[in-house]
Amino acid sequence: MSDRKVIAVVGATGAQGSGLVRAILNDPNGGFVARALTRDRTGTKAKELARLGAEVVEADVDNLENLRKAFAGAYGAYCVTFFWAHFSPEKEMAEAQSMAKAAKEAGLRHVIWSTLEDTRQWVPLSDNRMPTLQGKYKVPHFDGKGQSNHFFTDAGVPTTFLLTSFYWDNFIHFGMGPKKGPDGRWAITFPMGDKKLPGIAAEDIGKCAYAIFKKGEEFIGKTVAISGENLTGTEMAAAFAEVLGKEVRYTSVSPEAYRSFGFPGAEDLGNMFQFKRDFEEYFSGTRNPNFARSLNPSLEDFNTWLKRNKNALKLEDAAASA
Ligand SMILES: NC(=O)c1ccc[n+]([C@@H]2O[C@H](COP(=O)([O-])OP(=O)(O)OC[C@H]3O[C@@H](n4cnc5c(N)ncnc54)[C@H](OP(=O)(O)O)[C@@H]3O)[C@@H](O)[C@H]2O)c1
């Protein structure tokens, strides 16, 4: 037990972190143990991780002292921030800075920072193809993460920068699944035109991260990008139709229309999809499912994920709820 390497997992009760904790626990001879960070160890998900064998430690990423204690004695850490809990890139940047500081002080030998592109490197604020949001961002939930990369390099933390992809779980939890329109037909709606959207089963992010920790040295200082499959809206709709056994179409809307949908974060996501659409060659090109599968041989493609989750989809009749 004592010579096994402790991985402190931020967001351990969440989508990315819980997959990593389970990957570590499912490989008891892999040489690693999971330290699951949560703000509330009495929560249902935290108790479940403890039951499965994780060490559960209370920590709030907004509290540097908490992070220092949670990272102490560990070999590595998985660092992630929670944009959708507060919608603030500044808060994400402050949290990333604290995690990098605590990681350095604890002498961690390998950190994975779950980051995303600073889209302003492709779409400067002066580029009017999309609106500037919150005064200085194009895609706030991407830009703050990308802008935070330097905290880890500046502090000299041995870091792997992990570029993740759209979780297919958003079709279940983020209201993005097929909806029945006023015309009575089922459709998924994205502003992607005919471009591909890299996607992944959230659970696979943790499995890939675990492989990166196991490979260690090879990935320190590297940026790696993962996806489960890169599909157009039409291809995703066809998979829905096949698995659900009903017609599902893809409605391609303009980014302007998507931004005006009015739900919290619609502008941010409208810009995000437009970035992925306009820079498809870079964005999909970087996220190669074959590479992710080399890390995680059980990586799911969309059809496999959909078949496994079809009963969890809450199919919405938009016409009925309007
Ligand atoms: N949705 C997507 O398609 C997608 C794709 C790529 C990247 N992302 C990024 O993924 C990030 C979120 O990761 P996730 O999806 O794994 O998170 P998640 O499923 O929303 O869960 C986050 C977990 O983090 C914990 N948490 C929240 N605030 C915290 C704080 N202040 N201190 C410590 N723990 C805190 C919560 O645990 P406790 O309540 O137990 O403390 C929660 O269970 C976002 O920044 C998002 O931009 C999302």
320 pLDDT tier (thresholds 50, 70, 90): low
pLDDT tens-digit series, residues 219-241? 999 999 999 999 999 999 999 99
State the Cα–Cα distance between residues 101 and 105, nearest whole angstrom: 6
319 pLDDT tier (thresholds 50, 70, 90): low
pLDDT tens-digit series, residues 181-224? 999 999 999 999 999 999 999 999 999 999 999 999 999 999 99
Q: What is the pTM of this model?
A: 0.97
| Ligand 1 lined by 164 (C-beta under 6 Å) | yes
Structure tokens at 305: 């994920």
Q: How far is CA 108 from the centre of its chain?
A: 23
According to DSSP, the β-strands at 196-200 and 5-9 are unpaired
Predicted confidence at residue 322, as pLDDT, reads 46
| Residue in this structure with the two tokens 């709030």, named with its chain if needed | 60
Q: How far is CA 14 from the centre of its chain?
A: 10
| Ligand 1 lined by 167 (C-beta under 6 Å) | yes
- Alpha-helical segments (H) within the chain: 15-25, 44-52, 64-71, 89-105, 140-147, 149-154, 170-173, 202-215, 233-244, 255-259, 266-278, 280-286, 289-295, 302-309, 318-321
> Is pLDDT above 60 for 8?
yes
Helix/strand number for the chain, H first, E second: 15, 13
| Ligand 1 lined by 81 (C-beta under 6 Å) | yes
pLDDT tens-digit series, residues 169-185? 999 998 899 999 999 99
Residues with Cβ within 8 Å of residue 2, at least 6 apart in sequence: none
| Ligand 1 lined by 18 (C-beta under 6 Å) | no
Structure tokens at 258: 């998507």
Residue 42 · residue 232 · CB < 8 Å: no
Residue 24 · residue 36 · CB < 8 Å: no
| Ligand 1 lined by 98 (C-beta under 6 Å) | no
Ligand 1, atom 26: closest residue by C-alpha: 11
| Ligand 1 lined by 62 (C-beta under 6 Å) | yes
State the Cα–Cα distance between residues 243 and 257, nearest whole angstrom: 29
Residue 207 · residue 19 · CB < 8 Å: yes
Angle between helices 89-105 and 140-147 (to 10 degrees): 30
66 pLDDT tier (thresholds 50, 70, 90): very high
Q: Write the burial class of residue 310 (CB in 10 Å: 0-12 exposed, 13-18 middle, 19+ buried).
A: middle
Predicted confidence at residue 53, as pLDDT, reads 96
314 pLDDT tier (thresholds 50, 70, 90): confident
Predicted confidence at residue 2, as pLDDT, reads 64
> Is pLDDT above 60 for 118?
yes
According to DSSP, the β-strands at 166-167 and 76-79 are unpaired
Ligand 1, atom 14: closest residue by C-alpha: 15
- What average pLDDT does range 80-105 have in this prediction? 98
Quick one: what percent of the chain has pLDDT higher than 70?
98
Angle at 121 between CA 234 and CA 153, to 5 degrees: 115
Distance 316 CA to ligand 1 centre (A): 25
Mutate to test the pocket of ligand 1, among 71, 82, 98 (most ligand atoms within 8 A of CB): 82
Quick one: what percent of the chain has pLDDT higher than 90?
95
| Ligand 1 lined by 39 (C-beta under 6 Å) | yes
Distance 112 CA to ligand 1 centre (A): 15
Predicted confidence at residue 175, as pLDDT, reads 87
